[in-house]
Structures are given as C-alpha cells and as structure tokens.
Amino acid sequence: MQVKQPSGIVPLDYILPDEPLLMMGAGPVPIPKPVSNANAIVINHLGETMTQVIDQIKAMSAYVFQSETARIMGVAGPGSAAMEMAIVNLVSPGDHVLCVCNGFFSNRLAELSDRADANVLRLNINEGEAASLDAVQAAIIKHKPKLLTIVQGETSNTVFNHTLAQISELAHQHNCLVVVDAVCTLSTMPLEMAAWDIDAIITGGQKGLSSIPGVSLIAFSERAWDHILSRKDKLKHWCLDAKLADQFWHGKSYHYTAPVSGVLAIHEALRLVCEETLPARFHRHLRSSTALQAGIEGMGLSLYVEKKHRLNSVVGINVPPNVDAKQLLQTMSVDYRVEISGSFGPDIVRIGQMGEQSRAHNLFRTIHALGASLNSLGVSMDVPAGMSALESTLQWFDQSKTAEQSLTPQ
C-alpha cells in the first residue's frame, strides 16, 4: 500500500459548531426540515417510486419556471454544471454568442461559451448597473449572435437585470436564443419562462429554492429543445449531454445514477414553493428584503447599488471606511453566530434574501449581529434605529397587504 491510512480524522460532530451558524450569506442558505429529512434518504435511482418522484418534480417545476411546455431536467452538480449544460448543448463551435456581463457569474457564462469554442462578444455593463435595452440592441446588431446569455440577478455585486422580458423579445426579433441564469432569483421574484419566451433557465439548489447544493435544475423551451435534437455532432460532454440526460428525466431509463437524496431534497423544496404559492413567496421576499435594506440604512450604512438597479435576493452593503471586511465577517460569525458573505471585487459585504433567509426573525438577528459587530470594531452604528426601521417596514407591508385584500372583491 502506498498511501497510508490517515490519522487525526475526527467525526463531523467534533468539527461542526454546537449551535449551527445562521447562514445569511449569498448561499448556501438554511434548508427547511422536510428538505433535510429527504436528503437523508436513499432509494433506488430507477423504478416506480423514482418515476413518481421525477414526474412530480417536473410538474412542480413547470409551475416554478412558469412554463407548461418546458423540457425540465435535474443536473447532478452545482449551478455552474447547469450553466455549462445550457451552453454546451445550445452552442456549436463557431457560433456567435453575446454574453451580457454584469459581474462575476455572468462572466462565467462567457467563459463557458469560450470553452465551447463559441465566438463570444462580452457586453460589459457598467459596474452597479442593469443592462440597458439600447446597449443590448446595439450589441445584437453588431455581433449577430445565435445565443444571448444573461443573469437575472448578479449575486456577486447585487445588480438586478430588470428588463429580461424586453431583452428576450429583442433577441428573438433577431433569431437569437436566450439563456437566463436564475440561480439566486428563481422562486424569489417573477420569472415567466413562457410569457417572456426564454429558451433556457438554470438554477441551483442552494439559493432561492432553499435546497441543498449539488443538485440543480434546467429548463429548455420547445425551440431550444428542437435545436438540441437537430444537432448532428457528438457533444464532448457526456454527463451534461441533454439528450442523454433526457433518457432519465423523460424516458425512465439509465443515464448515470442520479444523486437520489438530493433529488428527493429538491422535490421537497419545490413542494414547499408550490404549497406557499409563487405570489405569496414573492411577497415574502420583497417584504423581507425591503425591510432588511431599511434596517441597514436605518443604522447608518449605505447600500452598494442604486435602488433602480438593485437586486432584492442578495443585498450589497458598502463596508465603512477603516473597517476590514474579513474582520467584520469573522466577528459576526464568532461572536453572534451569523454568517454573511464577503465580495468578489467591490468593497462590500453581502446578505442573502433567498428562501428560508427571508424570515423576520432572521432579519433581526442579522441586523443586530452586523451593527453590534461594527460597534465592537469601533464604528458607531445606531442599532436601535436600524431595528426600528426594520420593524416599521415589516409592519408597513402587513398593513398595505391588509389594505390590498380589503380592496379586492372576494
């Protein structure tokens, strides 16, 4: 034997913190009990039970993606694997691809397209701004792409591309397919695959859906699926070949052994979304994120992105002068057991508002941890004012909701 038996390995119980950290960063996010229970189960990856699970996942996904006709599949892998699956199945070598780049993750779509040997044009959007229709139109006319990639929410710098529907319409006027990365946004805000005519949407498990990381979903439009079926070349990717994956997701047969537990977990995550209903879930996220933002500003901090370009799913906060972001995160984690995220560039810290994060009790704890940590690092924060702004915004939403309901005829 060349490799010796390892020494010093301890059971996870010895390493994991006693009190779980409250995961308020940019993902993974806390998961509800039914999701973690499902994740503890292994069943046969083929057969009657699995068929029923898969059928339900597809039916629930049709609702969550808002498309009756989308070809829905799960992917064993991170959100990035689903991104790669969209790209390698829709892009042939030499194809012109336009990548709308707002930040780190939208650039990843460009990188993936590059590696798929596409002819890539990156449309670099000014930092902190959403893509403008004019800029996208000019780039489409110049580059004549077969495919456009865009993120709905750019998690890295908290920018929100709020004109997706119009961008999609514009792209289709030029016979261009549209791929949307909705890893952090799906089920947290409106995204209508059919109505907005989007050709592929990808999402991960660990963000908006509040499932586990490592099992993702992808949905192809009929147009995109026809395009995939019409390809005669053999893909270089075997695991990510959508035609092969389709054998499992629509043909009850073997492609690779599905990550059974993760598939069961995402089933439960989707079931909880359906049970809550999309309108109620969108409202919960809007209320929670708006209140969080009010709380942050209320205690004296400023937000990174201007309101009209700002994402609600992940909130970016400017780090006050003379504060080291790493030290701030460390203090919040060690002293208050709340984790938030640092950044991939700008001097910001980020708080997630995805799935289970968007609950009032988590907001109070997070605002307190942030304010108290800054106070202990010598920056004076008005934590009571932050709490007050948080609470009054939550109440405002409840009152306006009651008003809305009383105005709506039964």
- Strands 96-101 and 119-124, sheet pairing: parallel
List beta partners, residue 126.
none
Question: Which residues of 292-380 form beta strands (DSSP E)?
Answer: 314-318, 338-339, 348-352
Q: Which of 351, 352, 362, 23 is nearest to 184 (CA)?
A: 352
Residue number, 74 or 153, with CB nearest to ligand PLP: 153
What is the smallest separation between the CB atom of 83 and ligand PLP, expressed in angstroms?
6
Residue number, 84 or 268, with CB nearest to ligand PLP: 84
**Residue 213 gets which letter from DSSP?**
T
What is the smallest separation between the CB atom of 237 and ligand PLP, expressed in angstroms?
16
What is the smallest separation between the CB atom of 215 and ligand PLP, expressed in angstroms?
10
Radius of gyration of the chain (CA): 22
User: Would you say 157 and 346 are in contact if contact means Cβ atoms under 8 Å apart?
Assistant: yes
Task: By CB under 6 A, name the binding residues for ligand PLP.
Answer: 27, 78-80, 105, 151, 153, 155, 181, 183-184, 204, 207, 213
Residue number, 285 or 368, with CB nearest to ligand PLP: 285
Exposed/middle/buried for 366, CB within 10 Å: 0-12, 13-18, 19+? buried
How far, in Å, CA of 218 to CA of 200, rounded?
7
Residue number, 79 or 386, with CB nearest to ligand PLP: 79
- Strands 96-101 and 147-151, sheet pairing: parallel
Residue number, 263 or 394, with CB nearest to ligand PLP: 263
What is the smallest separation between the CB atom of 132 and ligand PLP, expressed in angstroms?
19
User: Would you say 118 and 96 are in contact if contact means Cβ atoms under 8 Å apart?
Assistant: yes
| Three-class secondary structure assignment of 308-329 | HHECCCEEEEECCCCCCHHHHH
List beta partners, residue 177.
147
- Strands 153-154 and 159-160, sheet pairing: antiparallel
What is the smallest separation between the CB atom of 78 and ligand PLP, expressed in angstroms?
3
What is the smallest separation between the CB atom of 48 and ligand PLP, expressed in angstroms?
31
Residue number, 351 or 374, with CB nearest to ligand PLP: 351
**Residue 4 gets which letter from DSSP?**
P
In the complex, residue closest to ligand PLP by CB: 79
What is the smallest separation between the CB atom of 70 and ligand PLP, expressed in angstroms?
19
User: Would you say 200 and 179 are in contact if contact means Cβ atoms under 8 Å apart?
Assistant: yes
Residue number, 105 or 304, with CB nearest to ligand PLP: 105
